[in-house]
Amino acid sequence: MSASPLRSIPAVDKVLQALEPVRLPRPAVVALVRRELAALRRARSIPPFEDVVARVGQALRRRVLSRLQPVINGTGVVIHTNLGRAPLGSSVVDALADLALHYNNLEFDLADGHRGGRASYLEEHLALLCRGEAATVVNNCAAALILILRHFTASKPEVIISRGELVQIGGGFRIPDILETAGAQLKEVGTTNKTTLDDYGRAVSPRTGLILKVHRSNFFMSGFVASPPTEEIAALARRKKIPLVEDLGSGAVVATDRLAARLSHEPMPGEVLKKGVDLVCFSGDKLMGGPQAGIIAGRARRVAGLKKDPFFRALRCDKLILGALQATVDLYLSRADTPGDLAVPVAEMISLQPDALAARAEALLRELKDLPAVCRAVETLAQIGGGTLPQAELPSVALDIKPAQMAASELGARLRRGDPPVVGYISGGRFRVDLRTVFPRQDADLARCLRRALSPAPFPEPPSESP
């Protein structure tokens, strides 16, 4: 592109007229045009008018792509944090839509016509599902942890935790940082691989507010490793009158080893509470497959204390989350005997059999037969993701595509710009779409997007890098 300092910056109106229509509100388009023109002015190098229009067009397409929108998850990672973790089931979404469209009894007791407790139904049913005396819910598991830490360390600041459990959970979420944010003081005990009951016992002092256990949900340790049984830590905590809390993170409310053959058993809230832990907390949108939420369950007295904490008010969920979670919890309670048939997409995707995936792959391959690419179905291993059961490998089937006229990375980039966008991965220079995480109802869209991305017809230019 030839640039000249002599050309003048085109008028905003002129650029607006020359642009192709895009699905964006007009003020956003105008603001983006202004921003691009200002960047050119700062750079003191003004390209020809068509180039200015092309540059603005790229910025607009980039904005359109950044809009929160459905994507086809071809990564084979069931709980993909970058792709919104757990998709909700249609019955849950119906319940949500009904609530969202109308008034509701969020804090109104229909039985006696007075102000009622917020989410009392959900709390009762969550307690049932978790086999705890009581339960409540906040915005996410991080919030649950911060609430718990703040509440129990208000007068006694120390939190005892094993060095083997000082973990990093996801992007920037580290247990020691969370403790600091909550104003608690970390009292590390034991070593990375071994912690004994005696380590815990010697660390207890009048300053101890809480003993915290953190489930190693996203990594695995083996070899010379030991930690005392939870029952023994619970007995110690009870003797010393200190609450014992376990952060379970992933929150399996059905037995994971019943969902799929080769899965190990992820600790369930009810099992952990039975060992004498006072409170557990876990995420609503990991293995539970519900909306983003932080669930707290356990001793009634402890849950009541948390709910009375003024900080609880800042973390409470809105009615839509409560509605979606209520519907999800009731699905679990009513279908406890058929875990793979829950109408909870995460559970269904984990329990899918590879044969069903292979049949879908064959049908898709027939659709893609005439395209300029070598397409085949391959056996792969999908993952649960979300920092859950990191060792679990789910036998799966992927479409494996080697385009004739472009690099696999270019195909991937085109698919991300598709409608709907498709996110897959590259393996050995070939592009792959794992079918385990693609809903069967999306197969037709997937075929259409692949056809469009692989066809020689011009494709919208890639959005430029953000400035």
- Which class for 449: exposed (0-12), middle (13-18), buried (19 or more C-beta within 10 A)? buried
According to CB under 6 A, which residues from 276 to 315 bind ligand PLP? Answer: 283, 294
> What minimum distance in Å lies between the beta carbon of 15 and ligand PLP?
42
Query: Measured on CA atoms in the order 374, 377, 380, 385, is the torsion positive or negative?
Result: positive
Q: Which is nearer to ligand PLP, 153 or 283 (CB)?
A: 283
> What minimum distance in Å lies between the beta carbon of 325 and ligand PLP?
12
Interface with ligand PLP: number of residues (CB under 6 A)? 16
Q: Which is nearer to ligand PLP, 33 or 137 (CB)?
A: 137
Cα(105)–Cα(113) distance, integer angstroms: 10
SS3 (DSSP) at 273: helix
According to CB under 6 A, which residues from 138 to 177 bind ligand PLP? Answer: 140-142, 169-170, 173
Q: Which is nearer to ligand PLP, 137 or 406 (CB)?
A: 137
- CB-closest chain residue to ligand PLP: 249
Q: Which is nearer to ligand PLP, 177 or 341 (CB)?
A: 177
Helix, strand, coil percentages in the chain from 3-state DSSP, rounded to 5: 45, 20, 40
x/- track of binding to ligand PLP for residues 234-273 (CB under 6 A): -------------x-xx-----------------------
Q: Which is nearer to ligand PLP, 167 or 259 (CB)?
A: 167
Q: Which is nearer to ligand PLP, 117 or 390 (CB)?
A: 390
Cα(167)–Cα(422) distance, integer angstroms: 33
Q: Which is nearer to ligand PLP, 139 or 442 (CB)?
A: 139
Of 57, 56, 59, 84, the residue nearest 70 (C-alpha):
84
> What minimum distance in Å lies between the beta carbon of 173 and ligand PLP?
6
First-to-final CA distance of the chain: 18
Using DSSP bridges, classify how beta strands 158-162 and 108-109 pair: parallel, antiparallel or unpaired: unpaired
> What minimum distance in Å lies between the beta carbon of 441 and ligand PLP?
27
Contact range with ligand PLP by CB under 6 A, out of 134-142, 397-405, 409-417, 442-450? 134-142
Structure-token match 């956003």, residue found: 28
Contacts of 141 (CB under 8 A, 6+ apart): 247, 249, 251, 281, 282, 283, 294, 295
Contact range with ligand PLP by CB under 6 A, out of 112-120, 136-144, 255-263, 296-304? 136-144
> What minimum distance in Å lies between the beta carbon of 251 and ligand PLP?
9
According to CB under 6 A, which residues from 375 to 434 bind ligand PLP? Answer: 387
Q: Which two tokens stand for residue 420?
A: 């709907």
According to CB under 6 A, which residues from 191 to 220 bind ligand PLP? Answer: 214-215, 217-218
> What minimum distance in Å lies between the beta carbon of 302 and ligand PLP?
18
> What minimum distance in Å lies between the beta carbon of 275 and ligand PLP?
17
> What minimum distance in Å lies between the beta carbon of 392 and ligand PLP?
14
- Element housing 150 (H / E): helix 141-152
Contacts of 467 (CB under 8 A, 6+ apart): 39
Contacts of range 258-265, beta carbons closer than 8 Å, 24 or more positions apart: 258/339, 258/340, 259/339, 259/340, 259/347, 259/350, 259/351, 260/350, 260/351, 260/392, 260/394, 262/392, 262/393, 262/394, 262/395, 263/350, 263/389, 263/392, 263/394, 264/389, 264/391, 264/392
> What minimum distance in Å lies between the beta carbon of 147 and ligand PLP?
12
Q: Which is nearer to ligand PLP, 217 or 383 (CB)?
A: 217
Q: Which is nearer to ligand PLP, 158 or 247 (CB)?
A: 247
Q: Which is nearer to ligand PLP, 175 or 234 (CB)?
A: 175
**52 is an interface residue for ligand PLP by CB under 6 A:** no
The residues binding ligand PLP (CB under 6 A) are: 140-142, 169-170, 173, 214-215, 217-218, 247, 249-250, 283, 294, 387
